[in-house]
A and B are shown apart, each in its own frame.
Chain A
Amino acid sequence: QKEVEQDPGPLSVPEGAIVSLNCTYSNSAFQYFMWYRQYSRKGPELLMYTYSSGNKEDGRFTAQVDKSSKYISLFIRDSQPSDSATYLCAIDGGSYIPTFGRGTSLIVHP
């Protein structure tokens, strides 16, 4: 079992839809949770960073962490074509070396 599991997709949604992206992890020692966005042929860009269970909101993005279930989510409201990218979850146990999921490809069509 991989430490971080993420469905590669692709996930295709119409513009304006609410998008839900998810990861599961196996190591309960993980304490820091991140979501990165990666456009094609570019480096990952940090979107959200949290270290506790619950929700964190930033504009159209909401990160949710459920440590009891070892499950993290990223919600995107009012999705736009410019949100089309690969979304990577990353989880860190305190070593400042995150373990990444393989990424979910999101396509938002007009």
Chain B
Amino acid sequence: DAGVTQSPTHLIKTRGQQVTLRCSPKSGHDTVSWYQQALGQGPQFIFQYYEEEERQRGNFPDRFSGHQFPNYSSELNVNALLLGDSALYLCASSLAGRADETQYFGPGTRLLVL
């Protein structure tokens, strides 16, 4: 059973550029959440996608956007990159509506903005 996969594993960009990160959820899961984890901090919730729509959103600017595809995979897009966007970006998948289910995380994409 494949777990959550993310690509790429590492990425280097310069300020002002745009980036797209990708995530495939764990088999059987239909909900994808994205988190940003700065060095030495816990993951911070960006947004969650279910049925191809953004269902919840954390306190992140509109430069952060996403998409979910019919096969439940998801993309995170960040425009106009800032130095402060350097972080580990984590994707987590879950099964909607299950109170006893929690989220399973992928290995993350480490983004460095120069």
Contacts and interface: CB of A to CB of B under 8 A. Distances in A.
Interface of A: 4, 6, 8, 32, 34, 36, 41-46, 49, 51, 88, 90, 92, 94-103
Contacts of A46: 102-105
Interface residues of B, number: 27
Contacts of B4: 43
Contact of B90 (A44, A51, A92): A44
B102 A100 contact: no
Contacts of A100: 42-44
B103 to A, nearest CB: 7
Interface of B: 4, 31, 33, 40-45, 48, 56, 58, 88, 90, 94, 96, 99-108, 110
Nearest to B31: A96
Nearest to A96: B94
21 contacts: A8-B40, A34-B102, A41-B88, A42-B108, A43-B4, A45-B105, A46-B102, A46-B103, A92-B102, A94-B99, A95-B56, A96-B31, A96-B96, A96-B101, A97-B48, A97-B56, A100-B43, A100-B44, A101-B42, A103-B40, A103-B41
A42 B109 CA distance: 9
A94 B101 CA distance: 11
A103 B43 CA distance: 9
Given A6-B42, A49-B102, A96-B101, 15 more contacts: A8-B40, A36-B105, A41-B110, A42-B108, A43-B105, A43-B108, A44-B43, A46-B103, A46-B105, A88-B42, A97-B45, A97-B48, A98-B45, A100-B42, A103-B42
A92 to B, nearest CB: 8
A27 B88 CA distance: 27
A49 B42 CA distance: 17
